[in-house]
């Protein structure tokens, strides 16, 4: 599970997979706007897309929380 704690890999995933395609806006941003607007018309494919592009950010948040809690524990 060392790969899930590798900062370089997680940041690389966020910058590539998490934000792809980059133009005209990152895909995950468009999906979050769609969800914030009520998610009208979203299909299973769209929800899978949110999970797929959002997962690197979940891993990054996980690493940040682990780092903060480890720092507070010591």
Residue 63: the pLDDT is 94
3-state secondary structure 10-74: HHHHHHHHHCCCCCCCCHHHHHHHHHHCCCCCCCHHHHHHHHHHHHHHHHHHHHHHHHHHHHHHC
For the chain, what is the domain count?
1
Tens digit of pLDDT for each residue in 39-74?
Answer: 999 999 999 999 999 999 999 999 999 999 987 776
pLDDT digits (tens, 9 = 90+) for 1-34: 788 888 999 999 999 998 888 888 898 999 999 9
Domain boundaries, position 34: 2-73
The confidence score (pLDDT) of residue 23 equals: 85
Q: Which pLDDT score is estimated for 57?
A: 95
């Amino acid at each position: 599970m060392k790969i899930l704690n590798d900062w370089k890999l997680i940041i690389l995933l966020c910058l590539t997979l998490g934000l792809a395609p980059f133009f005209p806006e990152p895909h995950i941003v468009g999906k979050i706007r769609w969800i914030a607007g009520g998610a009208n018309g979203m299909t299973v494919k769209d929800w899978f897309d949110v999970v797929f592009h959002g997962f690197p950010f979940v891993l990054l948040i996980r690493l940040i929380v682990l780092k903060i809690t480890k720092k507070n524990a010591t």
